[in-house]
Amino acid sequence: MADFKKKIYHQTSFIKSVQNLDQAPPDKGYEIAFVGRSNSGKSSSINSLCDQKSLARTSRTPGRTQLINFFEVDANRRIVDLPGYGYAAVSQDIKRVWQISLIKYLEERECLKGVILVMDVRHPLKENDIQIIEWSSQSSIPVHILLSKIDKINLHEQKKILQETKNFVDEKNINASVQLFSSLKNWGMSEFDDKMNKWFEF
């Protein structure tokens, strides 16, 4: 069964890039959105899941940081790679427009089953990350947090940050799960895979 599922993600293909969520594919089936600060390891997590080296980069045009990329797992299931945030170069106006668009997407998108929030384990819970967690919660969208690049710190630090992040979501009474992850080493892949399968109802 596990091999069968792996093959499904391996077949994931790029559908399209859009600038505005109004141009998203029809609101049908299942969608899982990936969010995170730029350089958090978001693209790498999608590529690891799908066992493809450059899937989440194929559509990336330098300088066009605000594009939203859609990938098709199968006819009914999509992965959405939302723009990485934290770019100093992006103007306040553009940031505000994007925030409004993201809130609307979280509130209105019927097919959205969950949000994968990728945070570099060394820089967790920045302001924008917390906003995403809160907005998702307000829209009753579950969040799964990948604390990424854990190969860069030792086991003791990993456990400490995992616990602190879990405490944060518990205190806020938010529907979020948290795990340690490394795309480089493929650590945490089965937990990540299980969450995706659950939300996609595989």
- Of 152, 191, 147, the residue nearest 169 (C-alpha): 147
- Of 137, 129, 85, 133, the residue nearest 107 (C-alpha): 137
For ligand GDP, give the closer residue by CB, 86 or 142: 86
Least Cβ distance, residue 128 to ligand GDP (angstroms): 13
The H-assigned helical ranges of 12-91 are 42-50
Residue 152 near ligand GDP by CB under 6 A:
yes
Residue 186 near ligand GDP by CB under 6 A:
no
All residues at 6 or more sequence positions from 161 whose CB lies less than 8 Å from its CB, including other chains: 121, 124, 147, 153
Helix (H, G, I), strand (E, B) or coil at 173: coil
Residue 41 near ligand GDP by CB under 6 A:
yes
Q: Which of 23, 39, 138, 190 binds ligand GDP (CB under 6 A)?
A: 39
Residue 149 near ligand GDP by CB under 6 A:
yes
Contact status, residue 166 vs residue 178, Cβ threshold 8 Å: yes
Least Cβ distance, residue 147 to ligand GDP (angstroms): 10
Contact status, residue 116 vs residue 45, Cβ threshold 8 Å: yes
Q: Which of 84, 114, 124, 188 binds ligand GDP (CB under 6 A)?
A: 84
Residue 44 near ligand GDP by CB under 6 A:
yes
* Binding footprint of ligand GDP, residue count (CB under 6 A): 16
Contact set with ligand GDP (CB under 6 A)? 36, 38-44, 84, 148-149, 151-152, 182-184
